[in-house]
Chains A and B, each alone.
Chain A
């Protein structure tokens, strides 16, 4: 029983950190996507402005 009790405490700690880690990874992924989209759009606008002038 004690071993199982300790194991589940470990699972609890692990689950807490895993959930927060997954959220941090999701945040980092969103950051990269936003950066990429921003660069693409800026490049596209510059090209369009060059074509127009």
Chain B
């Protein structure tokens, strides 16, 4: 078993390009996400007609306002052709808000629109919103850091271990190895530890990069985050290996990516699991991303300690053990004993 581990390290050391991809590619994607999910300072463009001055002034703080002299007859056409995000106008005695589409930009209009309302209406409507856990950062990667860390780690490790194992099959090195007295348990353990340790290194670099270069908020312990990512790496290695045993070539392995990786995104916390209908949310228990991302959320957002993430780590551990034995069983296809 140690021979397989050492051989994997040697292979990686000689294959500089793969090593660079393993260590640098996730950092590149994280950097890209950091900039894409950042706040560009864009102000929504709003056309207003007969809107009370108090509201207009309040809107002007977050939006670019154009006051119209007459009402719009073709609202949709005007907004589209003039690149406006919305139109606010007085319709009889009610204020109407007409937005081009439902997206993040127009949500900004509604936020700025709701705030002046409290000033014009009764005191009972005067409210103040505060969050138990929020960040001063305007970068959305800060809010969803736990999701992207978990998913990216799973994605890269899954591809690496899966393709590596398919290649072992195609070059008949796996066959040659299985013709030796090594047990199937040792072969899978060797691969798990070999790729697992490499991927552990990768995820630790990802965490450190997010904490010290991108300055994402880590309220809890960075070491605990690394521990979670380590568990996630081993879970991804096992998943990648198992699927590669059923893929005859790299092309088939690539086709497993959407089937396996996309469901991980659904249960990572990006979409509210409670709102998934038909009890499909319960599928989260079979996705490693659920355990890893929610454990990361507990540490990164809620500042929880080891006891809070223990159930998630236990879930990941069970997943690793089950998939380890499934791999050992699947290897029976290549050697009886």
B is a partner of A: no
